[in-house]
Amino acid sequence: MTTELAWFKSSYSSNDGPDCVEVAISTPTIHIRDSKNKNGARLAFTGDAWSEFLSQMHA
């Protein structure tokens, strides 16, 4: 069974600039993609890895 992901624009994206990231959350994975290339490469992180990544963004 395949579940469609519910994508939303990341709060880290700029409003009109080139930095447009979309995120989809599914247990236990956080999915990331470029909103300008929705069929392109995607990254997937565990919740712990994503939290660690975000903590380093604010360091």
In a domain, 53, yes or no: yes
In a domain, 5, yes or no: no
Tell whether the model's pLDDT for residue 7 goes beyond 70. Answer: yes
In a domain, 14, yes or no: no
Tell whether the model's pLDDT for residue 30 goes beyond 90. Answer: yes
Domain, as residue range, for 53: 21-57
CA distance linking residue 9 with residue 15, whole number of Å:
10
Tell whether the model's pLDDT for residue 14 goes beyond 70. Answer: no
Tell whether the model's pLDDT for residue 1 goes beyond 60. Answer: no
pTM for the structure as a whole: 0.74
In a domain, 49, yes or no: yes
In a domain, 1, yes or no: no
Q: Which of 21, 25, 23, 19 has the alpha carbon at shortest distance from 3?
A: 25
In a domain, 12, yes or no: no
- Structurally, the chain folds into a number of domains equal to 1
